[in-house]
Chains A and B, each alone.
Chain A
């Protein structure tokens, strides 16, 4: 008895010693500062650097990348690349926690929260003092010309802990008057025209007409009677649920909104009067889920819409089971049956209600600018040398080659204005035996690449598919948009605001999505359910706090614009 007690004490003692040791070990390894933060470190001795970062899964690594090697020769430095295509964030976190720091992290995609945090704890140095005409002339000029870019990468404390990156691919890049991001409308709806013709129906223009068409598809089992599939295989309409390019959200336009996947916060909307709100607390939203539940209950919407993957959707579509669906390209989704499908225009709301004639697509933002693509750590001795190298990245012709591939490989010829043409799919297959997309993935360097809209006009032409999609977007879909206001993805939040977002947003978003699904499946909300829902969002999910944060951030953004 006594013996065991002694051993117990021994155990406790060993544990205690081990814990003390581990704490001291932790504090012993904290970062060492070379200079005062927020000033320029004038040291230029170091010319050998190690960078840890991302590469595309198809890339062979950057050691033999001629574009990067040329840039290194030009600036007189050498970089050892330690890059990987997946599990990068785990590896990076382990490195930061274990204080095994490279000179810089590239292409990791730190969010503003991580950047502020690592800026504050001294792991990343403040780059703002280095962005001068002497050290970084190209970037300096871009930030002078585009105050928005500067605003997007400047943290709350005035520091810049990462160089800007972004891809401003939009209709402006194909010479349109207004510049809409390629991501403005992610879902293009489509319908089987052959089935409509067979049934003697017109292409619907209202939700009611679509409803009748779907009922006709179902009753006549079109997949069976027209394509000869097994009886009962017809799925009048199949989509995902709140998915990127294959969701049901485009059909809500008849109720005056479309709640796309949102990079800022789910269902966050900037109304055309400049106020910020959540669309999922409006009467329109309530009426929409109530209305579409009837479709679901009648078996017009696929019962698997909540659970299926894009692969499952493609599978169904390529068998010819599906009457109506959404994607970017018809060919992609419908395979052999593509010729039978046409784009379905944005449909107006149900007749006899206040939504008769309503047809409003709310657009979404583009990729925006982010500062998480290149951060220099406190272990770098000569940030100036490294930044001179990265300043070269902010030249149109250089960034084009970093994004797609070298001149002579991906860019083979120039048009009459000296603008480079991308390799075509056929040329790529012929010369390299790969698709153009694969070729891009092979040569692409992931890092602080800022591709300005004007580069598409001055330096290189976009890929054919992108041009086609932008033309579709501009000519066919944008005219159906009433208000092109959208909550800016570049809004910068203060540290406190980021804490609030971090605390509430995940719960809030999952509560919205779960409830939307339940109402679609089980029937729209009664007054009590609706009140309970609003109350739940307010009490448990911090809706008001989130709204305040987003309103305040937009207020600062709008003020800076003027």
Chain B
């Protein structure tokens, strides 16, 4: 009896390991592929010659990316926006989700609908621009954070988490012990909601790290975040290539550089996120589904 049990254990182990290995490969290979593509001759990449090893190893793509004087300020700006933006939006999520999780909040339904409407209807680019202009936020970094400061979808997840995953008994107990609402929030709710906090931090972090369009519309060039800087480097390179394609020749050679810059800027932009991710990840698995069920 015992033997068959361990046998089935072992087979299930083998199957599980095999499946996760395949999943790992599916996830990791594309990243690896981009990495080797960024140091290869792009024409060989497109001809399918870089399956496992780079071909004609070169660092020209990275050289071109790091030769740009704006890359450092891009990094600094991006880190700044990500840190401020993440703190800001997590705070906004908590101070909107917590009241809405209270069943005795006056006008709870109104506020829920009020937030929900913004999920379905947006003003569009130009009206939003006009609002930002009239509030004098143009060329201020707050233009990145204030419009859309509450991510309603995330807010609903957090609210559900507060409602369903924090035992009501604990809150009642704290109230009996004389805690004010605020004290309950700070001492009981926040510590208990760490998993969802981690999830929200990662969500906002990734969103702010990747955001370039808002900065493009509202900020001047010296405030450009990393993705925008990388985009400009790429545009410069492809502009000089297309210049060559029309008149002076040499398109093939310049286009090669453009393709290399594409691959290396993916690595340059993704590296910080790849490094940070494992540190938040341990909370992630617990929190991801938390609050997702039970409306």
Residues of A within 8 A of B (CB): 3-4, 7-8, 10-11, 22, 25, 56-58, 85-87, 90-91, 93-94, 97-98, 100, 245, 310-312, 314-316, 318-319, 321, 329, 331-333, 335, 425, 435-438, 440-441, 463, 465-466
Contact = CB atoms under 8 A, between A and B. Distances in A.
Given A11-B114, A314-B252, A438 B43 contact: no
Contact of B252 (A8, A56, A335, A463): A335
A91 B217 CA distance: 7
Contacts of B247: 437, 440, 463, 465-466
Describe B's contact surface by its main secondary structure.
Answer: helix
B129 interface: yes
Interface stretch (B28-36, B151-159, B164-172, B238-246): B238-246
Contacts of A10: 110
Given A3-B106, A58-B240, 7 more contacts: A85-B239, A87-B216, A311-B255, A335-B252, A435-B250, A441-B239, A465-B249
A57 B236 contact: yes
Contacts of B240: 57-58, 435, 437-438, 441
Contacts of B45: 315
Given A57-B240, A94-B129, A311-B42, A333 B252 contact: yes
B255 A314 contact: yes
Contacts of B10: none
11 contacts: A91-B217, A311-B259, A314-B252, A315-B46, A318-B252, A319-B49, A435-B240, A435-B244, A435-B248, A437-B250, A441-B240
B217 A316 contact: no
Contacts of B127: 22
B110 A7 contact: yes
Contacts of B243: 56, 58, 437-438, 440-441
Interface in B174-221: 216-217
Given A90-B217, A332-B251, A315 B239 contact: no
A265 to B, nearest CB: 23
B286 interface: no
B47 interface: yes
B107 interface: yes
Contacts of A57: 232, 235-236, 238-240
Contacts of A441: 239-240, 243
B47 A8 contact: no
Contacts of A466: 247
Given A56-B239, A332-B251, A94 B125 contact: yes
B282 interface: no
Contact of A98 (B42, B126, B235): B126
B274 interface: no
B43 A437 contact: no
Interface string B27-68: 000000000000000111111010000000000000000000
Nearest to B262: A311
A4 B110 contact: yes
A85 B231 CA distance: 12
A318 B256 CA distance: 12
